[in-house]
Amino acid sequence: MKNYFQRIYAIISTFNLIVNSIIPDSFLHKQPGMNDIPVWADMSALLQNKSKLVFSKIEENIPLAEYTTFGVGGNADYFCLVRAKEDLSILINWCKDNNFPFLTIGNGSNLLINDKGFGGLVIKLGNCFKRISCSDETIIAGAGVSLPVLLKEAANHSLGGLEPLAGIPGTVGGAVITNAGTHLGKMGDVVSKLTVMDFRGERKISKRQVGFSYRESNINPREEIVLEVEFSVFKKDKSKIKEEMKNHLEKRKRCQPWNLKSAGCVFKNPPQGPAAKFIEEAGLKGLSRGGAEVSRLHANFIINTGAATSGDISELIRIIQDKVQKKFGIFLETEIRIV
């Protein structure tokens, strides 16, 4: 029996030696939190050979909390501030070829990142994706443009139609993907077409193809990235535009925890009515876990009081869903993106 196990051990040892001689360690290395997705040796090569990217730089182990309005979340295994479309194409194709996950972030204003971080590549669009051009009936804005900057530019050019979006803190790209908006209007009302990029290259998408619905679109952020958005606008008196935007903004500031760390409305409104109404009637305003608290001003906001973790916020989300489900028979679907 002893000789039998010795022979088995010898066979296994020989097999391991053969495998290790053929496949480098880096090929088999796995990052924590990646659900056993291999980090192929090419990522190390991509990191070491900077010439593969024209203008951009890949960094490792970057804290993501500072890139979200919640101010929580762990580190990204890899992070790249993309400064050119050529580099973006290289990254997307590499991720596709190697089955490597990527996450594109804008202002991080609708995003909850796990405390363990993101086991893949986080892409943030740089200044070359923040250009704006205006004509009498059209505004073309890069995906990295913030909505407040877009609205200011529209007002300066006396272009109306975007006023209902005043006070939404995200970027153009993220706002399109989620069809961000208010009860007065949403992105889908003013978008005419998009330019997106995936591993096949750039392509135009019509408004119909985008498939806007309540806080959703057909754009899959895990496979394609919005590059720029074309808006349909119209000539309007500049003073009237600014007055409307000011009124919308002031109203939002009165009823929302404007200056606190949050990600905006956490839940979508169900068909039965506003999510905030059900959360409040369930007696959950002010409920806290760790450093996270259900806002006392607007029940559909969860705020980071200073030392919250992603886990604290996630626990509050689960409690709210459970309590509202039990009391009203309504399941509240999250509006924020949880990664």
Domain match, 278 and 315 both: yes
The conformation of residue 164, written as its DSSP 8-state character, comes to G
In a domain, 209, yes or no: no
In a domain, 331, yes or no: yes
**DSSP string across 49-60:** -GGGSSS-EEEE
By residue range, what is the domain housing residue 65?
24-127
Supply 115's token pair. Answer: 């405390």
Note the pLDDT tens digit of each residue in 167-220.
998 999 999 999 999 888 999 999 999 999 999 999 999 999 999 999 999 998
Supply 21's token pair. Answer: 């001689």
CB atoms within 10 A of CB 173: 28
Domain match, 97 and 183 both: no
Contact (CB, 8 A) for 133 and 195: no
Only one residue has tokens 């590059």, namely 227
CATH classification of the domain holding 39: 3.30.43.10
Domain match, 35 and 109 both: yes
In a domain, 199, yes or no: no
Domain match, 102 and 172 both: no
The conformation of residue 306, written as its DSSP 8-state character, comes to S
| Amino acid of residue 108 | G
Note the pLDDT tens digit of each residue in 269-299.
999 999 999 999 999 999 999 999 999 999 9
User: What span, in angstroms and rounded, lies between the C-alpha atoms of 226 and 56?
Assistant: 18
Note the pLDDT tens digit of each residue in 214-265.
999 999 888 899 999 999 999 999 999 999 999 999 999 999 998 899 999 9
Mean pLDDT of 42-67: 76
Domain match, 57 and 107 both: yes
In a domain, 203, yes or no: no
In a domain, 13, yes or no: no
CATH classification of the domain holding 282: 3.90.78.10
In the listed set 95, 127, 159, which residue is the last one of a domain according to the structure? 127
pTM above 0.85, yes or no: no
Domain match, 74 and 97 both: yes
Helix (H) / strand (E) element for 26: namely: helix 25-28
In a domain, 19, yes or no: no
Domain match, 141 and 123 both: no
Q: Compute and round to an integer the Cα radius of gyration of the chain.
A: 24
* Number of domains making up the chain: 3
β-strand 138-142 against 225-232: which pairing, if any?
antiparallel
CB atoms within 10 A of CB 28: 13
Domain match, 148 and 230 both: yes
Torsion of CA 214, 245, 161, 108, to 10 degrees: -40
Helix (H) / strand (E) element for 15: namely: helix 2-22
Supply 159's token pair. Answer: 């272009």
SS3 142: strand
Mean pLDDT of the chain: 87
